[in-house]
Amino acid sequence: MDLRLPLLAVLLKYVLASTFLENGAAPLSRSSFPDGFVFGTASSAYQFEGAFQEGGRKPSIWDTFSHSSAGKIKDGSNGDIAVDQYHRFKDDTKLMKDMNMDAYRFSISWSRAFPDDKVNPEGIAYYNSIIDSLKQAGIEPYITLYHWDLPEALHLSGGWLNSSISEKYAAYAEACFEAFGDRVKNWMTFNEPYTFATRGYSEGAHAPGRCTGCKFGGNSLTEPYIVTHNVLLSHAAAVKIYREKFQEKQGGKIGIALDTHWFEPFSDSPEDAAAAERRLDYKLGWFLSPIMFGKYPRSMRLHLGPRLPVFTSKQRREIRGSIDFMGLNHYTSRYVQDDPAAAATNSEMDPAALSLGNRNGVLIGPQAGSKWLYVVPWGMEKLLKYIKARYNPPEIFITENGSCHFLAIKLDELNDPSISLEQALQDQLRIDYYNEYLKYMLAAMRDGVNVRAYFAWSFSDNFEWEIGYTSRFGIYYVDYSDNLKRYPKKSALWFKQMLARNASATQIL
Residues serving a catalytic function are 192, 400
Whole-number Cα distances in Å, 272 to 268, 277, 321, 363: 7, 9, 31, 18
Q: Is 279 exposed, middle or buried (0-12, 13-18, 19+ CB in 10 A)?
A: buried
Amino acid letter, residue 436: E
Longest Cα–Cα distance in the chain: 77
Bridge partners (DSSP) listed for residue 187 = 143, 254
d(Cα 76, Cα 58) in Å, to the nearest integer? 22
- Cβ(70)–Cβ(109) under 8 Å? no
d(Cα 333, Cα 305) in Å, to the nearest integer? 29
3-class DSSP state of 317: helix
Q: Which of 130, 118, 134, 133 is nearest to 174 (CA)?
A: 118
d(Cα 283, Cα 369) in Å, to the nearest integer? 23
Cα torsion 496, 498, 503, 507 to 10°: value is 100
Q: Which of 343, 367, 347, 344 is nearest to 356 (CA)?
A: 367
Q: Where are the beta strands (DSSP E) in 192-311?
A: 253-259, 262-265
Radius of gyration over every alpha carbon of the chain, rounded to an integer in angstroms: 22
Q: Where are the beta strands (DSSP E) in 180-308?
A: 186-191, 253-259, 262-265
d(Cα 151, Cα 113) in Å, to the nearest integer? 11
Sequence-ordered alpha helix ranges (H) in 406-471? 421-424, 428-446
- Cβ(282)–Cβ(350) under 8 Å? yes
CA torsion sign for 55, 60, 66, 68 is: positive
